[in-house]
Every structure is written in structure tokens, then in C-alpha cells.
Amino acid sequence: MKIIVLGGDGFIGWPLSLDLSKEGHEVYIIDNLTRRSIDKELNVSSLTPIKDLNSRLATWKRLTNHDINYVNINIDKDYEIFQNLLKEFRPDVIFHLAEYKSAPYSMRSAYHKIETVGHNINAANVILSSIIESEIETHLIHIGTMGVYGYSSMKNTYIPEGYIDVDINYENGFKEKRNILYPFNPGSIYHLSKSLDNLIFQFYAKNDNLQITDLHQGIVWGCQTDLTILHEDLINRFDYDGDYGTVLNRFIIQASLDYPLTVHGSGGQTRALINLKDTIKCLKIAMNNKHEKNNKVRIFNQLSETKTVKEIASIISHVSNTKIDNIKNPRNEDSENDLVAKNNSLIRLGLDPIMFNENEALGLLEIAHKYNKNCDISKIPSQPSWKNNNN
Ligand SMILES: NC(=O)c1ccc[n+]([C@@H]2O[C@H](COP(=O)([O-])OP(=O)(O)OC[C@H]3O[C@@H](n4cnc5c(N)ncnc54)[C@H](O)[C@@H]3O)[C@@H](O)[C@H]2O)c1
């Protein structure tokens, strides 16, 4: 297949591009390297020494004889260039991973709020309108987030896969059954932007009958895949800082430095998790199992399990003998919540998930030990970006 990976230099996009290329697909990466610019802005860098994209691609070609095309386009602005590329390349599939993806970063200041919303929703609109303008048949696969539903406690219930049947009782006595999007309840500007993405996808699916799959994903943990370990030049990004490092990766680097694991509040926050290799499997499952076009976005929950922050800390603390430090929560969120989400669709289509356990923690610790000399410990804690934080 001909495949465009928007955001192909990123944490998920890079190993995905290698995987697709290895399978013999013709892969075209579009990335404006903004994630690398944000590292400079935050004065931090990936724990693992990631090479520049051209070097990564040259090594891949040398090792496998596979070419991956690359162009630096800002997908939320350069729509004419993107449209021309679509007309020429005519992709069967477009993976859209090119978004600002950090909740704490999006809450830093007015500038970061405006950048995150402006970028993320413009990108969705540019991509979808360009697909129509260029008159191509393609399947757009986007990674959304489970975080759009918020993290309030839910007793005796669960998050369905995108839609829910409701009975509406109008004041005039009229009753109606409807299948609607499960309500969003974003807790950060980043999650708000992902909620708005959903409405943009719904509009284009309804109006233009485009083929769109949105994968509502949990927090991704892990770093390397079978292909990124082939050569040091192919190594994947490992973010550990308070803005971009996810909770599990930050605990891992803390443990490798014998720095107490900083659990926000009681650690009773429950989060959805998925391993990086499973993320790539899920993206390929979505690609290989097209759905009938029915003027509707197909939505899957893309997660393997849920765990509380204190459960994650306890596994890592146990294998590394590191202390746990409960600190004031810099986020404005419930101190405890339960989270149950259906992931039946991807399981039915073949996902056999890797669960986070002591063995997996040891594997990640090995990477962290190898590169922890690159770590700036002062960057690990999350800064309190949420105003009106009552926790
Ligand atoms: N990593 C996670 O834990 C996680 C969890 C849930 C959802 N997601 C979603 O998955 C997607 C990919 O996440 P990731 O972890 O690989 O993120 P990432 O930040 O590592 O990668 C995103 C890539 O997109 C590029 N990009 C951003 N804006 C661009 C633009 N305007 N034009 C061209 N390129 C641009 C960046 O330079 C970067 O290389 C994101 O949409 C994110 O919201 C990620």
C-alpha cells in the first residue's frame, strides 16, 4: 500500500514507519520536526540519543534497502503543498499522528493553549479538506485519546467505543432514541483539542462520507521495538520530562537514578495503558480491516489495561527498590477515580495485549540505566500549570 505517516519522526510515528516499510509498503513521512523544537523550548531532550530524521532514514536504507520518503511540511498550514502531494502520491492510507500531545504543555500559558488548539484542530481540517479537494480515495486513521472522557469516577459503568444509545425525553412529551457520541469531559486544553477533533471528523464523515477511524488511545509506555533496536541510529525517543514524559516512563527514569518515584497526591488516579508495540499492532489492525463507509467515524478504544498510578509506582518500586514520594498534585484532577473502558473491537480483530508487569519494568529499566547519564533530574517533576488547583 501507499501510506502517509503524518508525524513520522515522533515517538509512535517513527517505529510505525519502520514497521510499515519493513512490510513492503511505500511509506511517506510528513513531519515539520516541531516536537524537536519543543525540546529546545523546554531545554530538555529525549533520554535516548535520537538521530536527526535524515540520518535515521539513511541508516534504514543502508540496513534494509527500503526507501522511506520524507518531506518537511507544516500540516496545519501548508495545505496547498499537502494537496499536491496527495494528488501525486495517492495514498491508500493516511495515519494522522502529527499533533501537539502534552496535557501539561498545553496548560503552561495562553501561548501554549492557543498553539495547541490552533494547531491540532487546523491540522484535522487541513487533512480532511485536502482529501476532498484532491479527489482521492483514502482511509484516514487518527490517534485520539481516552483522556477526552475525563477522569471522573464512574461507578457501575464503562466507557463504550465512541457511541452510546440514549433515550431523550423532551419537555413537550416527545421521546426519541438516538445513538450519539459518548460525552466528552476534557481536563486539559490538549484533551479539549482532541475532543474538538472528534467533531471535525464527524462532520467530514457525515458530509463527505470519508473513511475515518479514530483510535481513542491510552497512555503509551515503552521505547524500543524489534526494528528500532536494529541500530543505534534508529533508536526511538524516550521522554522523561514533566511535560512530555508519561507517568510510567518518568517513574522508570527516577528508579534508574534512585530518585524517589513522585506520585501525584494519593496515586489513586486510574489511567488506561498500552505498550508501544501494541499501539503499532493496533494501527495496523485498523489499516488492514477497513470498515464499510456509512457516513460515520469508526471509533475504537485503544488500550490494554487500566492501572492506578500507585499500582504502577509499586511495580517499579518493587523491582528497583526505589522509595515512593507522594507529592502535591500539580494537576487539577480527581485524586481517585475508577476507569473501565471497553476494548472489545481491537481484541476481536486480533490484539493480544502486553500487560505492564515486573518483567516489562525491568526491560525498560535496562534502557534507562544505559542512558541515564543524559538525564537532567530537574526536568522530571511536573510544573503546576493548572490554575485553580484545589487538590
Ligand atoms: N504517546 C502517548 O502516550 C499518546 C497517548 C494518547 C494519544 N496519543 C496521540 O498519538 C499521536 C502521536 O503521539 P506521539 O507520542 O508519537 O507524539 P510525538 O509528539 O512524539 O509525535 C508527533 C510528531 O508530529 C510532528 N508534528 C507535530 N505537529 C506537526 C505539524 N504541524 N506538521 C507536521 N508535523 C507535525 C512532530 O514533530 C512529531 O514528530 C498524537 O496525536 C497524540 O495525541 C499519544
Whats the size of the chain, residue-wise? 391
**Residue 213 identity:** T
Span from the CA of 272 to the centroid of ligand 1 (angstroms): 18
Would you give the DSSP letter of residue 336? Answer: B
Give the residue among 73, 75, 61, 52 at the shortest CA–CA distance from 27: 61
Class of domain 2-244+276-303+341-352: alpha beta
Q: What is the DSSP letter of 222?
A: -
Of 158 and 277, the one with more pLDDT: 277
Q: 116 C-alpha to center of ligand 1: Å? A: 12
Please give the number of the atom of ligand 1 that sits closest to the Cα of 244.
19
Tell me the CA distances in angstroms from 209 to 91, 108, 297, 298, one per residue in order: 17, 37, 9, 12
Report the mean per-residue pLDDT for the chain: 94
The DSSP 8-state label assigned to residue 299 in this structure reads E
Residue tagged 479539549 (cell numbers): 192
Catalytic residue of the set 48, 116, 145, 228: 145
Q: Is 15 in the pocket of ligand 1 (CB under 6 A)?
A: no
* Other C-beta atoms lying within 10 Å of the C-beta of residue 15: 25
Using CA atoms, how far residue 224 sits from 14, 217, 332, 342, 366, in Å, is 10, 19, 32, 27, 11
Mean pLDDT in residue range 174-191: 96
Binding site membership of 126 for ligand 1 (Cβ less than 6 Å):
no
- Judged against a pLDDT cut of 70, whether residue 387 lies above it is answered with no
Mean pLDDT to the nearest integer, 278-283: 97
pLDDT tens track for 87-108: 999 999 999 999 999 999 999 9
